[in-house]
Amino acid sequence: MHGARIDRVLARRPTLRYPLGDDFVRRLERRQVGAVRRRAKYLLVELSSGDILLMHLGMTGSFRVMRQGREEEALAHDHVVFEMSSGRAVVFNDPRRFGFMRVLSADEVIGHPALAVLGPEPLERTFTAAVLAEALRRRKTSLKAALLDQQVVAGLGNIYACEALHHARLSPKRRASTVVDRSGAPKPAAVALVEAIKKVLGAAVANEHRMYGEDRFRVYDREGRPCPRRDGGTIRRIVQGGRSTFYCPVCQR
């Protein structure tokens, strides 16, 4: 989409998770696409009008790119199609319709309730042990639950929280504030955790084509298997905040 013009928008239904809006098509067609960026789990497409197309994939949403005029390749649940000046069509498919799209002004995006409360981006240099320590110093919840709070760190999901905690040798059950000393400074555990988060997310981006590979994860969804550190531990599964947590009780303290 970057650098191309949106020539035509096919909105095949008026509502995804939320209504698209009566002016959705009008505010998109004939607009040039500038930057295409991400904030946490949100996609932001900057338009030549100054508006921004805010999108979220939900649980089952996905995009695919195809040549225009290939109607025979249309799939069930293709809800929105962006026909670009490049001759390509960008198609949004979402069987469960938990995703959403809204065209907003720049000011509306800045004050959008979903974006205004987000914490730091985990792969940015600004996400440091000191920043994490400040966010966790008064947290009485478990470390795993704190990591899933988007105000602590943006975009970190359940799978990679489990993976990062294993890399850092930290128990998901320990209190979040235990990685911070009394002065509010990060302990070595916080430093290790930040490094682990950056490592697992960086590897995930680099190896996206292996998303469902058998050897993709160290602990996630590997209940009953030996810990990959070969420390005699067996991966356990517990439920925290309604989400499955996988960890090794031997090496994660």
Structure pTM? Answer: 0.83
Please report the pLDDT score of residue 72 as a whole number: 80
Joined tokens for residue 234 = 């067996």
Q: How many domains does the chain have?
A: 2
- The reply to whether 25 and 109 lie within a common domain is yes
In whole angstroms, how far apart are CA 118 and each of 30, 175, 202, 213, 229?
Answer: 32, 22, 20, 31, 34
State residue 213's pLDDT score: 52
pLDDT of 34 reads: 96
> Is the same domain home to 23 and 48?
yes
Same domain, 240 and 147: yes
Q: Of 28, 42, 30, nearest to 155 (Cα)?
A: 42
Same structural domain, 97 and 29 = yes
Residue at which a domain ends, from 116, 146, 164:
116
> What tens digit of pLDDT does each residue of 96-155 get?
999 999 999 999 999 899 899 999 999 999 999 999 999 999 999 999 999 999 999 998
Annotate 40-55 with DSSP letters as a single string. TTEEEEEETTS-EEEE
Domain final residue, candidates 68, 84, 116:
116
Claim to verify: residue 170 and residue 112 sit in the same structural domain: no
Mean model confidence pLDDT for the chain: 94
Flag whether pLDDT at 212 surpasses 60: no
85 contacts 7 by C-beta, under 8 angstroms:
yes
| Pair 190, 103 in one domain | no
For the segment 47-51, the average pLDDT, to the nearest whole number, is 98
Residues 6+ apart with CB under 8 A from 53: 28, 44, 45, 47, 101, 102, 103
**Using the 8-state DSSP alphabet, how is residue 234 labeled?**
B
Query: Is residue 252 exposed (0-12), middle (13-18) or buried (19+ Cβ within 10 Å)?
Result: buried
Residue 253, in any domain of the structure: no
Among the candidates 116, 148, 170, a domain finishes at: 116
Which of 56-60, 67-71, 203-207 has the highest mean predicted lDDT (pLDDT)?
56-60
Domain membership flag for residue 26: yes
pLDDT digits (tens, 9 = 90+) for 71-85: 788 899 999 999 999
Q: What share of the chain is helix, strand, coil (3-state, %, to 5)?
A: 25, 25, 45
Q: How confident is the model at residue 70 (pLDDT cuts 50, 70, 90)?
A: confident
- What does the pLDDT average to over 192-196? 98
Say if 121 falls within a structural domain. Answer: no
CATH of the domain at 26: 3.20.190.10
Would you state the pLDDT for residue 208?
A: 67
Q: State the pLDDT confidence band at 214, using cuts at 50, 70 and 90.
A: low
Q: Which domain holds residue 204?
A: 129-247
106 and 168, same domain (yes or no): no
